[in-house]
Structure 1
Amino acid sequence: MNITADRLLLFGATGDLAQRMLLPSLCALDADGLLEPDLRVVGTARSEMTTAAYRDFARAALEKYLPENRRGGIAQFLDRLSYVPVDATTLGGYEVLAEEVGEYAKGLAIFLSTAPSLFEPTIDGLVHAGLTEGNVRIGLEKPLGTDLASSEEINDAVARAFSEDRIFRIDHYLGKETVQNLLALRFANLLFEPVWNATYIDHVQITVAETVGLESRIGYYDDSGALRDMVQNHMLQLLALVAMEPPTSFDSTAVRDEKVKVLRALRPVAKDETVTGQYRAGAVNGEAVPGYDEELGKDSETETFVALKAHVDNWRWKGVPFYMRTGKRLPERVTEIVVQFRCIPHSIFADRGATTRPNRLVIGIQPEENVQLSMMAKVPGLDREGIRLRQIPLDIAMPDAFSGTVRRIAYERLLLDLIGGDQTLFVRRDEVEAQWEWIDAIRTLWEEEVITPKSYGAGSWGPSAAIALAERDGVSWHDE
């Protein structure tokens, strides 16, 4: 039985993630009465400041990033906060941190958002201070390594202090409402699951497009690139949710068992199934923007765009390509999954001059959460010159369908589940390592075949080779 923790320890408490997501999420949960009254939040980072100064820091972040209609509980939430500066590389500071955390009668939840190089010394510090003893669980924010070997090193370090059932690896996409709704769509509706296979589905597209460039992530991004930053975690998790078999129940073990089967069934990508790109100067939303090398201030071979053709080699998906693309400085910000069904085997309307188009399911994740199913319908009329058919959308806009509910930040759910001990929406070690194994093989292919990024103008949908990747199979990317 999971026990709700009465202490939450935030590492990286002064960082960008804490300001934009963690503090606003916790404050919103508190205002809605979803945090237990005895929960105390202890923040720590390298920055020297008192608890009073940190509360002022947190207030400024909340007033900047919380919507106005959710700011009513700021004062109440700030009373939960305290702060202790700690140099993660020095053991001595952890004893003071342990004193501030105090006795956790129910449990301690730790959220670790630091540079990967600090994971191991942080774990050593927690062990030294006794902050791994008892009912303690730890949430790990990405990046968890840069390849399989470094990921295993981090996981081994954490595993020395925490058993797998106490480790919560975070992929914030899994906290998004529409991503979770994908499971409900598939497994709560008889309409979809019988046709969710290679017999009826022609292909699947997964797009994660960003309009922004490097912003504040210059150092991290140039060492990472689009493949490791987006495909390794977010996009492969979306693919796993689309392709997984029905789990026996909605619990963490059953759901994650089925996801890892998909990841292990991924076929290695071939040379002609991958395209990389790097943006050059152009215009996004009518504004001129510099190229990647100009933003970076030096030449670089790092990819800002990736398109892949993936295959899941099992019975359900035999012969069904999964087209994935992600990039920066694209025309619009959008994350979506497109499930393209096959054509009907025979049209009874063909001799009446009517053409049919296959059904298509579009699951929008951001910026708007929605589900759209395209279907064929007859155009009204007397049909004196033949029957006319038209593809029409059946739209389910989530905010409209559930107008009485609050739209929540993904981290609200993930933090609440970390505090409560529910691992369902977190990533297990074997998932992470299966993802890295597939990604490492792609990077090895790029090196062996000397596949380097092709230029594309900012504001376009990537290199022309990415369009050709799909079009040679008779497929067009969903850019509508």
Structure 2
Amino acid sequence: MASRIIPVDPFDLVVFGGTGDLARRKILPALFRRFCAGQMEEGTRIIGAARSDMDDAEYRAFVAEALIEFNGDHSGCEPGTITRFQQILSYVTLDARGDKGWGELAAKMHPGRVRAFYFSVGPSLFGDLALRLHQHGMADHDTRIVVEKPFGRDLASARALNKALADHFDESQIYRIDHYLGKETVQNLMALRFGNMLFEPLWNSHYVDHIQITVAETVGVGGRGDYYDRAGAMRDMVQNHLMQLLCLIAMEPPAKFDPDAVRDEKLKVIRALGEVDPAQIVRGQYLEDEDKPGYLEHVENPKSLTESFIALKLHVINWRWAGTPFYVRTGKRLKARTSEIAVVFKEAPHNIFDQDSGRHRNILTIRLQPNEGIDLDVTIKEPGPGGMRLVDVPLDMTFTEALGPDAEDVPDAYERLIMDVVRGNQTLFMRGDEVEAAWAWTDPIVAAWEEREDKPLSYETGSSGPDEALALMHKDGRKWRDIRA
């Protein structure tokens, strides 16, 4: 099954912060892979902009080094592709809060084509960049701006950022990027739900016992200690990534696959989230392990009350999900790197087999990483003599096995999302009111434990988190799925 590459018309894309870590690791390699795939028409221009003094030649060399370091062996590209990619690159030394470089950048813009400006900088610069794009005549109806998380650290700051952008750009021009929504399996979740009659009739509290969402990491906070200690797992992961996954699982079918129709339904889910009992929240910090520092050592704050792990029991208060709990957890330095959503269905209403057959449930698992795919656990008779012994086995759809080699060549999240910006498709991007609603739900939870000065529990590196997180489900007669790669 051959992949279908649809080229896009020539465009100008400016990467503010074009020498930064995100540009080197994600944005530039993503653009190169789309160039390698033949998706960029002749005439497309990519412009790096930052405070560093460079000329075009130096920036092209900088980008080539980044591609060699972060983009593998380029085995899918023809010889000389990096050299050809370099020819569409240029650079402007620019001051985001001053006048330096803006006239030169404006002179590089081509009239009558899409202009995308990627704000790969801190949120404190969003307003300055938006203002200067207007002052220097680079903002028109074909202009799109892309902003990264963190989009604020609470409701007040998110509103301020939204206003700073809205002063100069229409909501239809603002693309708030969450790379989790660009993952192939996340989009397949919508196809699975709304493209198959098999699942939608069962997608409610009558048939679903509970839903688990897990995003586990094996790394610590690394060089992000200063930022992370001000954010924590709740602000860094739950408020955005896990919230988005929960919305896609819980939302009502949109009238059509349209950006605003999809985001309207996601917004309804966020607004239907109930208050969270403090007893249904478990927070933790990872401990030191041999040569690996613990959380407190990593952030260089021995009195830190910030969590590197969090587990919560949530409820969506509406007709579809009344009585069905959602358990979410995320953490660093856990036993394996994995992200998955597990929809655990109820047991059959009447067991016709004897007691020795045990308890069995169907579980639909959507694996987001590292091995993208979908499993459906079904109950069958164990082969062989000896009576009706039941066993659960997975119906496995690993994309690389089911779809062949082409499944390995699907664009990664940044590739897909950047090209969606160019096309003007906002379906996989967060809307301003959606961001604010998520913070409005998050803020009281964080404020409550900060007021109580709750101390996070300790957990061992390589574990599944604090034991109390296991008890969060055990007291409900349920258990977490094992964290495994």
Normalised by the shorter chain, which TM-score bucket?
A: over 0.9
1:465 counterpart (465, 468, 476): 468
What is the alpha-carbon distance in structure 1 between the residues aligned to residue 45 and residue 66 of structure 2? 19
Residue 341 (structure 1) aligned with residue 349 (structure 2): no
2:13 counterpart (4, 8, 14): 8
Residue 306 (structure 1) aligned with residue 310 (structure 2): yes
Q: 2:106 maps to what in 1?
A: 98
What is the alpha-carbon distance in structure 2 between the residues aligned to residue 272 and residue 178 of structure 1? 32
SS at match of 1:461: coil
2:426 counterpart (423, 428, 432): 423
Q: 1:294 maps to what in 2?
A: 297
Greater than 3 Å deviation, 4+ residue runs: none
What is the alpha-carbon distance in structure 2 between the residues aligned to residue 473 and residue 338 of structure 1? 17
What is the alpha-carbon distance in structure 2 between the residues aligned to residue 38 and residue 222 of structure 1? 44
Which range moved further: 295-304 or 151-160?
295-304
When the two structures are superposed, what TM-score results if normalisation uses the length of structure 1?
Answer: 0.95
The letter of the residue matching 2:205 is A
SS at match of 1:390: strand
Q: 1:400 maps to what in 2?
A: 401
Q: 1:363 maps to what in 2?
A: 366
- Percent identical residues: 49
The letter of the residue matching 1:312 is V
Q: 2:380 maps to what in 1?
A: 377
Q: What is the CA distance between 1:221 and its match in structure 2?
A: 1.3
Distance 1:5 1:37, change over 3 A: closer
User: CA deviation digits over 1:93-129, x for unaligned, max 9?
Assistant: 3222212x32332221111111111111111221221
1:112 counterpart (113, 119, 132): 119
Q: Where do 5+ consecutive residues of structure 2 fail to align?
A: 1-7
1:257 counterpart (264, 283, 287): 264
Residue 145 (structure 1) aligned with residue 167 (structure 2): no
The letter of the residue matching 2:236 is D
Native 8 Å contact 2:305 2:454 kept in 1: no
Q: 1:438 maps to what in 2?
A: 441
Native 8 Å contact 2:305 2:453 kept in 1: no
What is the alpha-carbon distance in structure 2 between the residues aligned to residue 282 and residue 104 of structure 1? 57
Q: 2:63 maps to what in 1?
A: 58
When the two structures are superposed, what TM-score results if normalisation uses the length of structure 2?
Answer: 0.94
Q: 1:18 maps to what in 2?
A: 23
Q: How many residues align?
A: 470
Residue 132 (structure 1) aligned with residue 139 (structure 2): yes
Native 8 Å contact 2:15 2:46 kept in 1: yes
SS at match of 1:431: helix
Q: 2:95 maps to what in 1?
A: 87
1:279 counterpart (286, 310, 326): 286
Native 8 Å contact 1:266 1:311 kept in 2: yes
Native 8 Å contact 1:148 1:436 kept in 2: yes
Q: Where do 5+ consecutive residues of structure 1 fail to align?
A: none
SS at match of 2:322: coil
What is the alpha-carbon distance in structure 2 between the residues aligned to residue 395 and residue 201 of structure 1? 20
Pairwise CA RMSD? 1.5
Q: 1:330 maps to what in 2?
A: 334
Q: 2:5 maps to what in 1?
A: none
Which range moved further: 49-58 or 68-77?
68-77
**Matches of residues 221-260 of structure 1 in structure 2 within 5 Å?**
221-260=228-267
What is the alpha-carbon distance in structure 1 between the residues aligned to residue 456 and residue 204 of structure 2? 34
